[in-house]
Structure 1
Amino acid sequence: MDNAFDEFTEDFNAVRHALLRNWRSHEALVAVQHVIAQQIDPDVEEVEARGHLAVEGDTAAIWRFDSREQEAEQIARWIRSEVDEGRIAPHDVAILVRMRANNVEDELAPVFRDNGLTLRNLARNVGEIAIQDLLAEPLTEVLLPLLRLGAGGRDPVAWNATQERLQTLTGTNSEDEVGQERVQREIGEFSRNLRQSMRDEPPDLVVADRLFTQALDFAGVQRLRQAYPEYRRDADFQRVRDGFQILLRECVENAADWRGVLDHFEGKDQVPLMTIHKSKGLEFHTMIFFGLDAQTWWSLSPDRGEELNSFFVAFTRAMQRAFFAYCSERGNAVDWLEQLLLPAGVEQIDGANIVADR
């Protein structure tokens, strides 16, 4: 509904309160975001930035490249230099595209690999579910901490997450001390057995399947489907279950130990690639809008409110920096967007210099 908030306000005599504090982005980024917000709603109120600037140099810039090869190589080299200087980890910087993330992966992954980086396409399907969707599923939130308990030494984060999820699955009240103790004993016994298996058997496809089955059996398929309504339909549960197993098997390849398998599963030390529509609800230290030319992003215009809203929401995911990259070989710049960004203090930089100038 285009006017959902208006109808809600009228039907329920609701009072609107504008959220005017941005706890994610710092002042310079919020100022640029406000310029785009004004394009969507000229009457939008200014937001108070509560995020803190923690980097030196450009926090927002347009990177202009002459060719696709230069664009891919320079971006990979820039990320590599940032990682080497200790300013970011690979998973702290996200590559955002409008669509066809699989094609962009084919273009960028070899170049990133040559620079010692792993690009992870979160839009890629494992079975019938995208990796990004799988990582947010309740099944993953239950099984991953369970497997973490067996992959290494003491892990308070994994223990607390497992205890919380198992309480949900068993319907154990937080005030039920007897039930709490029972849950803790069950987790302790399971994690000890799992730890022994992971210690004795290195990463292997057959072992991965067995560990997955053990963790799923411990959580309980019926308990999972009763606790989470989205799993009531067989097809929906099977889609997530199969996706988890497929991705776990993929992560076993070339992993030195089980902790490395699970790190790879979660995306640690991998540069995430996703569409702008999938970035909602996430946040990243640095974001790079890739291939931002008028041909690829043809639908990004002041007249298309939905597309502009998606672009704005994606931009607000940035905590410290946001860069807009395009190359003249692929298409012309998005003129109207540059006319907004340049007066707001966003510099245009020759892409050949983004690494050399640092």
Structure 2
Amino acid sequence: MGGENIEAKFPAYKQGNYLKDLINKFENLFFTEYAETHGEWNLAIENFCGENSVPIMTIYKSKGLEYSAVYFIGLEESAFWNFKNQLEADRWTFFAALSRAKEAVIFTFCKQRTGMKYPVQRHNIINEFFDLLQRPGVAEVNHISR
């Protein structure tokens, strides 16, 4: 399918050099992947398509979907939006994500993050979620340190 056919079918691509810029970005990204795989076309294509990778999505994009497991990565107070200032909205968001899991939910925290204004991380206020899940015996807490 040529560029003219794509532009005819999808009018958004007619705006200036939008389609040409997208094609150039695609080429650059793909050939970067090709170079990183040392010229192995099949591996470059697999990597570019995301095969053998773990898909990550936002809570917003997960609405209406279900998964065997849901992972909350970096659930510290400073990373979970503005939890102190908008408790109700973030509670709804949290439970929307939590309800996507059919079998398991995993939460991860960091005690410290490098390169941040406040490197020591906390999850005291956000612990209400864990307290709720631990009371009926639904949650199990495992502490792992490096």
Cα deviation code 1:244-273 (max 9, x no counterpart): 222211220215632221110111112345
Answer 1 or 2: higher relative contact order, Cα 8 Å, separation at least 6: 1
Give the alignment's TM-score, normalised by structure 1.
0.32
Displacement, 1:227? Answer: 1.1
Cα pair distance change 1:220/1:298, threshold 3 Å: closer
Unaligned runs of 5+ in 1: 1-218, 353-358
Match of 2:142 among 323, 345, 349: 349
Are 2:116 and 1:332 equivalent residues in the alignment? no
| Other-structure match for 1:297 | 80
The percent of aligned pairs where both chains have the same amino acid is 26
Partner amino acid for 1:258? W
Aligned-partner Cα distance in 2 for 1:250–1:276 = 30
Give the 4+ runs in structure 1 shifted more than 6 A. none
Give secondary structure in 2 for the equivalent of 1:243.
helix
Aligned-partner Cα distance in 2 for 1:257–1:297 = 40
Find the structure with the greater CA-based Rg: 1
Aligned-partner Cα distance in 1 for 2:78–2:142 = 20
Are 2:52 and 1:269 equivalent residues in the alignment? yes
Match of 1:234 among 16, 20, 23: 16
Alignment of 1:1-358 (within 5 A): 219-252=1-34, 253-254=36-37, 257-273=40-56, 275-277=58-60, 279=62, 285-300=68-83, 303-305=87-89, 307-318=90-101, 320-329=103-112, 330-333=121-124, 334-343=126-135, 345-352=138-145
Displacement, 1:229? Answer: 3.2
Larger strand proportion, structure 1 or 2? 1
Partner amino acid for 2:44? V
Aligned alpha-carbon RMSD (Å): 3.1
Cα pair distance change 1:332/1:313, threshold 3 Å: closer
Aligned-partner Cα distance in 1 for 2:91–2:7 = 38
Displacement, 1:293? Answer: 1.3
Cα deviation code 1:193-222 (max 9, x no counterpart): xxxxxxxxxxxxxxxxxxxxxxxxxx1111
Partner amino acid for 2:30? L
Cα pair distance change 1:319/1:268, threshold 3 Å: farther
Aligned-partner Cα distance in 2 for 1:260–1:325 = 31
Cα deviation code 1:260-303 (max 9, x no counterpart): 21110111112345544455577655432121112222523663
Unaligned runs of 5+ in 2: 113-120
Aligned-partner Cα distance in 1 for 2:101–2:132 = 18
Alignment check: 8 A CA contact 1:296 1:331 kept: no
Partner amino acid for 1:225? E
Larger helix proportion, structure 1 or 2? 1
Partner amino acid for 1:332? H
